[in-house]
Amino acid sequence: MRTDTNSTAAGSAALAAGSRNLGRGVWRLADPTISLASLASMLLGACAAAAAGPLNRGWLALTVIGILALETAKNASGEIFDYDSGTDLRVAPEDRSPFSGGKRVLVDGVLTRRQTVTVAAVGYALGIGAGLVIGWLREPAVLWIGLIGVAAAYSYHGPPLRLSYRGLGELAVALCYGPLICAGTYLVQRGEVPAEVWWLSIPLGLLIAAFLWLNEVPDAAADRASGKRTLVVRAGRRRAAAGFAVLGLAAFGTLAALPALGLPLAVLAGGVAAVPYAVAAGILHRHWRRTARLVPAQALALASFVVYALATGSALLLVG
């Protein structure tokens, strides 16, 4: 009797531990910090739509759920492909940071391969399902944006395109997290996307791509050894520091041109994001060799695109 009781208790403890690990793994894959990129783009699109008319909160909520599900699915499938290529295994301990080095659910043994595949499958199913419902009941044109988004999410790491391995990941991120998500969010609300919304999303896309660029600097050695030819690997860490500055100039230069493209002068409030970006660029310029010194720069680069979305979106609401 006592043996059976002990076995039952041990089984319950193992089940509880497994549930905790699963929850921790899904949380890592959802990665709320990195998901701020998609949330910032949805926020900007929603603010632009709200400036043009009332928002439908139900459809906005479904949009958020669908995109965050795809974000989690992308991270999960990416974990599998980066683990299989050896990229995540080759990241040296001194090059790990809260913003780079992968989600490490497989490397750290938080999730099994089967669990990670399941999270990816469920995430893609939820994201695609949300898109189909929106396309069927609300706005059919969303299906084209959704199709591109799903393809880009999987193909960022996955075969046959393997965009991040071919030096195309940065471009894919700029397009998806800038114009695609922002315009898609607007489209669900208003049924069309004026040219001004596309222009408004370009600086955001560049800032989010710059955040990725900076996060690729600590991963450069592991990526190079695994055949992952990101633009940072191709340029080298020293020149990547200059490239980060160029991306910032492109983003804020585009912002400065927005009033000439038909947007209100108030959107220039987004220029406040140049402050954290400039500080991040300075840190990267001085400390591109040492990952530990780059963590504050990574946080500031993240802050720059969040601040851009908040400031620009708020400005649109005030003048709308």
In a domain, 16, yes or no: no
Provide the pLDDT for residue 1. Answer: 54
- The yes-or-no verdict on residue 8 having pLDDT over 70 is no
Provide the pLDDT for residue 10. Answer: 40
Task: Enumerate residues 6+ apart whose C-beta is below 8 A from 31.
Answer: 71, 75, 103
In a domain, 13, yes or no: no
In a domain, 18, yes or no: no
**Structure confidence at residue 320 as a pLDDT band (50, 70, 90):** confident
In a domain, 184, yes or no: yes
SS3 call for 87: coil
Mean pLDDT of 194-205: 97
In a domain, 3, yes or no: no
Give the span between the Cα atoms of 125 and 208, in whole angstroms. 26
Beta bridge partners of 100: 97
- The yes-or-no verdict on residue 12 having pLDDT over 60 is no
Provide the pLDDT for residue 19. Answer: 61
Give the span between the Cα atoms of 87 and 77, in whole angstroms. 14
Q: Average model confidence (pLDDT) for the chain?
A: 92
* pLDDT tens-digit series, residues 127-155: 999 999 999 999 999 999 999 999 999 99
Name which of 17-31, 38-52, 61-75, 272-286 the model is least confident about: 17-31
Q: How many domains does the chain have?
A: 1
In a domain, 198, yes or no: yes
Amino acid at position 86, single letter: G
* pLDDT tens-digit series, residues 86-128: 999 999 988 888 888 889 999 999 999 999 999 999 999 999 9
* pLDDT tens-digit series, residues 245-266: 999 999 999 999 999 999 999 9
Per the CB < 8 A criterion, the answer to whether 279 and 300 are in contact is yes
Q: Please state the pTM of the whole predicted model.
A: 0.92
In a domain, 258, yes or no: yes
In a domain, 226, yes or no: yes
Amino acid at position 256, single letter: A
Range of the domain at 311: 25-319
Structure tokens at 273: 């994001």
In CATH, what number is assigned to the domain containing residue 158? 1.10.357.140
